[in-house]
Amino acid sequence: MKRALLVGLSVVAFSVGQASAADLPVKAPRMAPVVAPAFTWTGCYIGGNIGGKWVRTSGSASIGPSALTAGSTVVFPDADTSTLIGGGQVGCNWQAPGSNWVFGIEGDLDWQRWSRTNTLIGTLPPLFVPGDSFDWRSNWQGSVRGRLGYAWDRFLIYATGGAAVTNLTVGTNFIATTAGGFAFPATITSESRTIWGPTVGGGVEYAFTNFLTAGIEGRYSWYGSQSFNGGPLAVAATGAIAAPVFTFAPTSQSVKLETFEVMGKINFKIF
């Protein structure tokens, strides 16, 4: 009888222990930490820019030789002017996984407005007269460039270089005058041309989000010396008084152009 009672109590105790164990909370398995993906500069973007540009020009105006006269040239020394610039850019970057190097290509197009007018005064070379004027101006620029950068996560420093393009309009105004007893009318011409040259520079850029970056870029461009046609100019033979004799001489201008610009840029990564 005692043995039966002990066996029964043992069975009851074991059942209660099993039920209690079933009621204990089960510890959830530890989840692996979520690691945010590393930032990458890879992708294409579109953006806007605004800044300042400094322009240095020099050149000359020439009246070529004719059957009656020798040629003549007036020289315009270096002079500086400046302009605001603003526009937009598009480009693409590629950064190899695990690498700090960033390779890219970018193109931009900007509005600008600079000009220079050279009005002659004082003692001048033959055939030129006080009041003759020669003006140079431009209202847009652009470039297509490669970029090579080194990134520290969201901070990028880069060098850039490629081809720059701008428009240049050259105006010629030989005023009306009298020479050799003959009245010569004004000669006014204008020629516009799109010119190209190399450009180099560098900048820094920072990614505030995965899709928004901002930076500063500086760039130097030079276009060499460009020649522009000034049209034919009527010139009189020296000493012609009673019966004026005149002919036409070709005219031209030469313009040397170089620029430096600094701009702030904002880019939005589109993919």
pLDDT the model gives residue 245: 74
Question: Tokens 């800044």 map to which residue?
Answer: 51
Backbone phi, then psi, for 243, in 5-degree steps? -125, 85
pLDDT the model gives residue 254: 98
Q: Any idea what DSSP says for residue 243? A: S
pLDDT the model gives residue 119: 98
Backbone phi, then psi, for 191, in 5-degree steps? -135, 130
pLDDT the model gives residue 184: 83
Low-confidence spans in the chain with pLDDT less than 70 = 1-37, 180-181, 238-244
pLDDT the model gives residue 183: 82
- Helix residue ranges, H only, the chain: 2-23
pLDDT the model gives residue 238: 60
pTM equals: 0.82
Residue 254: partners with Cβ closer than 8 Å, 6 or more residues away = 59, 60, 62, 225, 226, 227, 228
Compute the half-sphere exposure of residue 17: CA atoms within 13 Å on the CB side of its CA: 6
pLDDT the model gives residue 16: 45
pLDDT the model gives residue 12: 41
Distance CA 191, CA 168 (A): 8
Distance CA 73, CA 253 (A): 9
Query: CA torsion sign, 102 to 105 to 109 to 114?
Result: positive
